Amino acid sequence: MITKQNLERIADYIWQVPQNFRGDMRAPARLYASEELLEDALQDESVNQLVNTATLPGIVKYAIAMPDIHQGYGFPIGGVVATQLPDGVISPGGVGYDINCGVRLLASHLHAEEIAPHVKDLATALYKNCPSGVGSEGSVPLNAKQLDDVLEQGAEWAVNASRGYARRDDLDRTEEFGKMPGADAGAVSKRAKERGRKQLGTLGAGNHFIEVDHVAEVYDAAIADRLGLFAEQVVVQIHCGSRGLGHQVCTDYVNDFQRAVREYQIELPDRELVCAPLNSPEGQTYFKGMAAAANFAFANRQILAYHIRRSLEEVLAGIVKDFDVFQIYDIAHNMAKVEEHDIENKRVKVCVHRKGATRAFGPGSSVLPDDLRDIGQPVLIPGSMGTASYVLVGTGKAMTETFGSTCHGAGRVMSRARAKKEVRGEKLRDELASRGIVVRAGSMPGLAEEAPQAYKDVARVVAVVHNAGIGRRVARLEPLAVIKG
C-alpha cells in the first residue's frame, strides 16, 4: 500500500511517486490533489494502479492522475498516460470498456423561471423519449450497412442520415468534430456489432444520465458569453458512451492482447494493462476498432440530443417562444488519441490515454474550431447526482503539464454495495424532490448507488484543477431534473 511518505510534493497541488519507488517503473507518477483529496486517493488501490501505469513501455514524462482519481481496473479512473510514437504502446484496458464515454452539453435560450412550471413534464418526456435502463433498445435500429456507416462516420452519420437527427453546427462543437479519424468497421467484431445494432440512441444504466440544469454562477463572463452561456440559462447534459458495442470491442482486444504482450516481450504488473506498440499490426487494428466504437458513442449522444430536442418541443411548443437548444460541446473521457505535444522543446507525436480524464486543449490549439481557438476547448465536468456540474476551458498549462488533460467528474469514494446499504433510493429521490430537483429513474437501488455521498465534492475537485492551472472555471450548473436508467 502506498502512503503519503512515498510521495514527494512537487507544487501546491502536485504530488509525485518517484521512479525509483518500484523497479518496474519507466517514469514517475504524478497526482494532482489537495491534501484532502490526496487522503481520499490513498484509501483504496488507486495510487498503486497509477504506479502500475508508469510501467507502460514508451511512457513520456510521467503517469498522471487527476484529483477525481479513484480505483478502477488496470488504469485508475482519472488516469492519463502518453506514450511516444512510433513504438510507444496502446493499451485497450487503459481506455476501458466504455469507449468514448463522455458528456454533451446543450444550451437553450430560456431562463430557468420560464420553464419552472414545466420541469416535471419535461423530465417525464425525457424519460419516455430517451430509452434507458438495463437491456434498453434504441429508436434507431440499424441494418449492417448503416451500422458500419455509424462506426466510420460517427456523429456525421446523423447529419448525413437527413432525418433531423443532427445539425452541422452540432459537429463543430464536438471533440474531433464527432468523427474519430482512422475508424474501421472491419476492426469491430461481429459480436460487438450485434450488441450495438439495437442500442443507438440509448442511455444505459449505472452512472449515465440526462440532466436539466440551470447556470447558477458565471465565473468568467467573457468566455461564458463566447460559448453562449448566461446566468440562469436552462441547459441539458448527456452522460453516456458506446454501450455494449464499446464494451465488446474492449473485451475482444484485451483478450487478443494477452498473446501480443508475449510476442512483444512486454512484462506488466497487471494483465488488464496488456498493450502493444501502436505501430504493430495488433496496435493498429485495436486503434481502428476503438475509433469505430468512439464514433458509435458520438452518434449515440447525437441521437439522444435529437430526442432531447423532440422532448423540449413536445413540452414547450406553444408555451415559450424559442425551445431550441444548441450545442456547447461534446467531450470524451475514455479514449486513446494520437496527438502532438511539445516535450523538451520538441514537437513529439504521442498516444495519449485518458481513462476518466478529459481533453482540455488550451488557447491556440490548431485542432479547435476557428471560433473557439482563442479561448481554448470547453471542458464539461459533471458532478454527482443532485450536485453542481462545471464548465471549464482548457489552458496552456494543461498543454505543458498534462498533455492537454484535466479531470472528468467528482470521482467515487464509496463502494456501490456500501452506498446501497446506507442510502434508500426512494428516500434519496424524496430528498432531491424537497430541494426542487425532479428525478425520473428506472431503478431505486441503482439511484442509491449514485447517491451524492458516494462521491467526492466536485467543487473541491474542480478547485484543484482550476488552482493548479490545468483547467479554467467558466460556469457552475445546478440541477433541475435528473433522468436515469
Partner 1 sequence: MKRFEEIPHTADWSFRAFGKDLRELFENAAFAIFALEGGTSRDLERDAQAREHANETARVVAVRAMDYESLLVNWLTELLWLQESHHETYQRFHIETLSPTALRAQVFGTPMTGLDKIIKAVTYHNLKIVQTARGWEAVVVVDV
Active-site amino acid positions: 408
Rg of the chain on CA atoms, in Å: 21
Grid cell in block for residue 130: 430517451
| Residue choice 2, 33, 254, 303 for contact with partner 1 (CB under 8 A) | 254
Asked whether position 22 contacts partner 1 by CB under 8 A, the answer is no
How many residues sit in the footprint of partner 1 (CB under 8 A)? 42
Minimum CB–partner distance for residue 239 and partner 1 (Å): 15
Distances (CA, A) of 54 to 51, 83, 269, 339, 446: 5, 10, 10, 19, 34
| Residue choice 6, 34, 279, 443 for contact with partner 1 (CB under 8 A) | 443
Choose the stretch contacting partner 1; rule: CB under 8 A; options: 144-152, 303-311, 386-394, 409-417.
409-417
| Residue choice 270, 314, 324, 431 for contact with partner 1 (CB under 8 A) | 270
| Residue choice 272, 339, 401, 457 for contact with partner 1 (CB under 8 A) | 272
- Phi and psi at 439, nearest 5°, equal -120, 130
Burial class (CB in 10 A: 0-12, 13-18, 19+), 269: middle
Binding string to partner 1 for residues 52 to 91, with x set by CB under 8 A, is what? ------------------xxxxx--x--------------
Burial class (CB in 10 A: 0-12, 13-18, 19+), 322: exposed
Of residues 104 and 412, the one with the C-beta less far from partner 1: 412
| Residue choice 12, 86, 169, 258 for contact with partner 1 (CB under 8 A) | 258
Asked whether position 458 contacts partner 1 by CB under 8 A, the answer is no
Q: Does residue 231 contact residue 391 with C-beta atoms inside 8 Å? A: no
Cβ contacts of residue 35 below 8 Å, gap of 6+? none
Asked whether the CA dihedral 279, 280, 285, 286 is positive or negative, the reply is: negative
Q: Does residue 98 contact residue 92 with C-beta atoms inside 8 Å? A: no
Asked whether position 382 contacts partner 1 by CB under 8 A, the answer is no
| Residue choice 61, 412, 440, 484 for contact with partner 1 (CB under 8 A) | 412
Q: Does residue 66 contact residue 53 with C-beta atoms inside 8 Å? A: no
Asked whether position 160 contacts partner 1 by CB under 8 A, the answer is no
* Runs of H (alpha helix) within 42-83: 46-53
| Residue choice 251, 279, 284, 387 for contact with partner 1 (CB under 8 A) | 251
Residues binding partner 1 (CB under 8 A): 44, 46, 70-74, 77, 93, 96-98, 134-135, 191, 194-195, 205-206, 244, 247, 250-251, 254-255, 258-259, 270-272, 274, 412-418, 443, 445-446, 449
